[in-house]
Amino acid sequence: MGKPLRVLLVEDSKDDAELLLRALARDGYEPVCSRVETAPAMRSALADGEWDVVLSDYHMPRFSADLALEILRESGRDLPFIILSGVVRAEDVVLLLKSGAHDFLNKDSLARLVPAIEREMREADTRRRRRSAEHLVRLLSVAVEQSPVSVAVTDREGRISYVNPKFEQVSGYSLAEIEGKLFTFLASEQVGEQMLRTLWSTIESGREWRGEFCNRRKDGQIFWEYATVAPLKDQAGALSHFVVVKEDITTRRAYEEKLLRQANYDEVTTLPNRLLMLDRLQQSIVLAHRYARQTAVLHVDLDRFKTVNDIFGHGAGDELLRVAAERLTGSVHEADTVARVGGDEFVIILPGVSSGRAAEKVAHRVLEAFGKPFQIHDQEMFVTASLGITLAPTDGDNPQVLLRNADLAMGQAKEHGRNQFRFFTSGINQRVQERLQIETALRGALGRGELLIHYQPIVALDSGRVKAIEALLRWQRADGELLPPAQFIPIAEDTGLIVPIGEWVLASVCAELRRLDAFGDHALRVAVNVSPRQMRTGDFVTVVERVLTETGLDPARLELELTESILMDASSDSVHTFQRLNDLGVRLSIDDFGTGYSSLSYLQRYPFDTLKIDRSFICEVESNAHSTRLVETIIAMAHGLELEVIAEGVETVAQMNMIRDRDCDLAQGYHISRPVSSERLEAYLLEKSGE
């Protein structure tokens, strides 16, 4: 079977056409042929069919090779055009070849026909390929010109020979300014030497490099790009150029950095947060171990931060934290870490110290820094700090243990009066263990009936009659030991156990008073101590109301003793609670007056009925004239505010006389009676009423 060949034949003679086709068939072709002899016929043949070659007679009655060539040009097709003719003048042939014919053959010697057709077809094919390649190049260069990513092409040394408009726009440099520079010239200081070395060695070895680049614009601004640098090779396979394609990732980087910041830093103070602190602590423990040094961990807690927050609002609280953070940072060296790990809690890490001395110095500096008043929103306030210090590896070698130790030591500093620091010691640990044991035992104490109440009489100074009794809690432990409240009330407060215990005290006391009615004065009052923690539970007033209803006790006979601290943290909530209790008809008493910071004017704002002067002033009246005057003033002012005054801790006749002379209303103390069990109280009251 012959090779297919589509021939458009421009020929008026059928015989000549026959001869031609036969010649092609002889050379192994199986031509498909269409013969045209006019211009319109040729036009429609070109428009409708696909051809491999045009073979044209030179001269025809109604047509000519000249015209046929023109029609082919018009059609836009690039087909081999070969003229077949008899004798023609040489000049005419040249003219035709100049105007686009590819070859000229004599009709009488067709031996050259097939080689000529084949050659011309090959060349036409080459021309077609080149055209489409050129088209592609044009397309590519437009694509690069208009590309939304930066593109640079460099020579084999990496010197810029081309950059696209996007590159110019992003970098701020025009091609003219940067031609011949190394393409890495934009890299900012943030791009390390190491990274550049890897980049060059990768691309010089003919491999592609990808990575993130931190660059600097012409105007100095920093921007991030994700770059791909690819080596280009010539036809022989030798490295000839590099092409650099870069995508602006500044937005993504900014977002990532923000996320990273949020994950590792505290928003209010911009200090590292707990997460980052743990990381740094872990690192410094490892390093300290390697260099046989120690790591100091300081736990810093602001004293009474909550009060500031409650009274002045969160805005002021945040401002205070920021200033506190500055003062802490100012107290340490640059290599140290100051982190905010909770509400008002900070941790300082001193890596690589040789002893506790360094930590002690920092602690002193912190205390000193907090000795100055804070100026917050036009308000001057004093907020001190308490610190706990622990050392690794002496006190522990993992972050959790160290942080717990520092926290415990900080707790000690608070317990000892705040505004100081304490080192963690094994003693602290032991105390914590004991506390834990007490806590466990206390949880079951109420259920096992180990709690009891003692009563201490309070007498009128004018008549000597028992006007009231104060209920004081005791814990009779299983081993028979009688624990005073100081040893377990703070734990009960910390754990919240004070709430059910307090409720039990209240109910027992009211019931007891009703029982005592059988023996004496029906106007006898009972004073019950209430801890701030109880007051803060939402339904305290409801509990009081219920107990009064259940026992049928006249509310005026119940007095609730509150310490001054409750006035210090007085939020609008507790003011509301005071008011509701007052509305119930219950009496309110301020206990241990003079030990806190409240002034008498504070009391004016709250519905108090009674003021109890703290024992510490009474016991000094004999020896200290200042205390006597103080007591005198308190009594006078309290009376001015229509408060009844009780002197606590009266132990001697002299003290009794002194307060009586100063017009104090009531007295309580060992001189009158120690706190006693309810049976002993019963006897006491009977004896008194008999007097």
What are the residues binding ligand C2E (CB under 6 A)?
A: 456, 472-473, 484-486, 489, 502, 505, 529-531, 561, 591-592, 615, 649-651, 668-670, 675
Tokens of 626: 């200042």
Tokens of 8: 């458009």
Residue placing its CB nearer to Mg ion in the complex, 171 or 529:
529
Cβ atoms 121, 53 nearer than 8 A: yes
As measured in angstroms, the least distance from the Cβ of 508 to ligand C2E is: 10
Residue placing its CB nearer to ligand C2E in the complex, 52 or 561:
561
As measured in angstroms, the least distance from the Cβ of 289 to Mg ion is: 52
Measure the CA–CA gap between 185 and 157, rounded to whole angstroms: 13
Classify residue 331 by burial, with Cβ atoms within 10 Å: 0-12, 13-18, 19+.
Answer: buried
Tokens of 404: 């717990």
As measured in angstroms, the least distance from the Cβ of 474 to ligand C2E is: 7
As measured in angstroms, the least distance from the Cβ of 691 to ligand C2E is: 21
* Closest C-alpha among 329, 319, 452, 430 to residue 383: 319
Residue placing its CB nearer to ligand C2E in the complex, 184 or 529:
529
Residue placing its CB nearer to Mg ion in the complex, 516 or 647:
647
Please choose, out of 179-187, 412-420, 555-563, 568-576, the segment that lies near Mg ion by the rule CB under 5 A.
555-563
In the list Mg ion, ligand C2E, none, the entry touching 438 (Cβ below 5 to 8 angstroms by class) is none
**Mask of contacts with Mg ion, 487-526, x by CB under 5 A?**
----------------------------------------
As measured in angstroms, the least distance from the Cβ of 524 to ligand C2E is: 18
Residue placing its CB nearer to Mg ion in the complex, 172 or 485:
485
In the list ligand C2E, Mg ion, none, the entry touching 396 (Cβ below 5 to 8 angstroms by class) is none
Q: 33 vs 9, 85, 399, CA distance in Å?
A: 7, 18, 94
Cβ atoms 590, 602 nearer than 8 A: no
Classify residue 241 by burial, with Cβ atoms within 10 Å: 0-12, 13-18, 19+.
Answer: middle
**Mask of contacts with Mg ion, 633-672, x by CB under 5 A?**
---------------x------------------------
Residue placing its CB nearer to Mg ion in the complex, 69 or 471:
471
Applying the rule CB under 5 A, the residues between 352 and 411 that interact with Mg ion are: none
3-state secondary structure of 179: coil
Residue placing its CB nearer to ligand C2E in the complex, 20 or 631:
631
As measured in angstroms, the least distance from the Cβ of 669 to ligand C2E is: 3
As measured in angstroms, the least distance from the Cβ of 590 to Mg ion is: 10
The only residue of 11, 57, 591, 665 in contact with Mg ion, by rule CB under 5 A:
591
Residue placing its CB nearer to ligand C2E in the complex, 327 or 612:
612
Residue 406 has phi, psi (to 5 degrees) of -65, -40
Which residues contact residue 424 at a Cβ distance below 8 angstroms, ignoring those fewer than 6 apart? 388, 389, 390, 391, 395, 405, 406, 408, 409
Tokens of 274: 């707990």
Q: Look up residue 373 and give its DSSP letter.
A: P
As measured in angstroms, the least distance from the Cβ of 339 to ligand C2E is: 36
- Does 592 bind Mg ion (CB under 5 A)? Our answer is yes
The only residue of 561, 644, 665, 682 in contact with Mg ion, by rule CB under 5 A:
561
As measured in angstroms, the least distance from the Cβ of 584 to ligand C2E is: 19
In the list Mg ion, ligand C2E, none, the entry touching 651 (Cβ below 5 to 8 angstroms by class) is ligand C2E
The only residue of 529, 531, 610, 627 in contact with Mg ion, by rule CB under 5 A:
529
Please choose, out of 13-21, 157-165, 568-576, 587-595, the segment that lies near Mg ion by the rule CB under 5 A.
587-595
Tokens of 161: 């020979």
Measure the CA–CA gap between 470 and 675, rounded to whole angstroms: 8
Which residues contact residue 540 at a Cβ distance below 8 angstroms, ignoring those fewer than 6 apart? 530, 534, 577
- Cβ atoms within 10 Å, residue 352: 17
Please choose, out of 51-59, 257-265, 493-501, 553-561, the segment that lies near Mg ion by the rule CB under 5 A.
553-561
Residue placing its CB nearer to ligand C2E in the complex, 188 or 476:
476
Q: 510 vs 286, 327, 630, 640, CA distance in Å?
A: 61, 52, 35, 31
In the list ligand C2E, Mg ion, none, the entry touching 486 (Cβ below 5 to 8 angstroms by class) is ligand C2E
Residue placing its CB nearer to Mg ion in the complex, 113 or 473:
473
Residue placing its CB nearer to Mg ion in the complex, 248 or 591:
591
- Determine the size of the site formed for Mg ion (CB under 5 A): 5
Residue placing its CB nearer to ligand C2E in the complex, 241 or 435:
435
As measured in angstroms, the least distance from the Cβ of 280 to Mg ion is: 47
Cα-trace Rg, the chain: 51
As measured in angstroms, the least distance from the Cβ of 459 to ligand C2E is: 12
In the list Mg ion, ligand C2E, none, the entry touching 531 (Cβ below 5 to 8 angstroms by class) is ligand C2E
Measure the CA–CA gap between 371 and 418, rounded to whole angstroms: 12
Which residues contact residue 296 at a Cβ distance below 8 angstroms, ignoring those fewer than 6 apart? 348, 349, 350, 353, 356, 358, 359, 362, 389, 390, 391, 392
Residue 214 has phi, psi (to 5 degrees) of -105, 110
3-state secondary structure of 62: coil
**Pairing state of beta strands 385-392 and 294-302?**
antiparallel
Residue placing its CB nearer to Mg ion in the complex, 247 or 592:
592
As measured in angstroms, the least distance from the Cβ of 592 to Mg ion is: 4
**Pairing state of beta strands 294-302 and 345-353?**
antiparallel
In the list ligand C2E, Mg ion, none, the entry touching 505 (Cβ below 5 to 8 angstroms by class) is ligand C2E
Measure the CA–CA gap between 512 and 16, rounded to whole angstroms: 143
Cβ atoms 296, 390 nearer than 8 A: yes
Residue placing its CB nearer to ligand C2E in the complex, 525 or 615:
615
* Closest C-alpha among 72, 78, 77 to residue 124: 78
Residue placing its CB nearer to ligand C2E in the complex, 280 or 615:
615
In the list Mg ion, ligand C2E, none, the entry touching 574 (Cβ below 5 to 8 angstroms by class) is none
* Closest C-alpha among 56, 68, 36 to residue 104: 56
As measured in angstroms, the least distance from the Cβ of 565 to ligand C2E is: 11
As measured in angstroms, the least distance from the Cβ of 434 to ligand C2E is: 19
Which residues contact residue 480 at a Cβ distance below 8 angstroms, ignoring those fewer than 6 apart? none
As measured in angstroms, the least distance from the Cβ of 643 to ligand C2E is: 17
Measure the CA–CA gap between 532 and 566, rounded to whole angstroms: 6
Q: Look up residue 619 and give its DSSP letter.
A: T
Tokens of 11: 């020929």
Residue placing its CB nearer to ligand C2E in the complex, 399 or 457:
457
Cβ atoms 299, 287 nearer than 8 A: no
In the list ligand C2E, Mg ion, none, the entry touching 92 (Cβ below 5 to 8 angstroms by class) is none
Measure the CA–CA gap between 557 and 524, rounded to whole angstroms: 7
As measured in angstroms, the least distance from the Cβ of 658 to ligand C2E is: 14
In the list ligand C2E, Mg ion, none, the entry touching 589 (Cβ below 5 to 8 angstroms by class) is none
Measure the CA–CA gap between 589 and 609, rounded to whole angstroms: 6
In the list ligand C2E, Mg ion, none, the entry touching 485 (Cβ below 5 to 8 angstroms by class) is ligand C2E
Sequence length of the chain is 691
Residue 497 has phi, psi (to 5 degrees) of -65, -20
Measure the CA–CA gap between 296 and 413, rounded to whole angstroms: 17
Q: Return residues touching Mg ion (CB under 5 A).
A: 529, 561, 591-592, 648
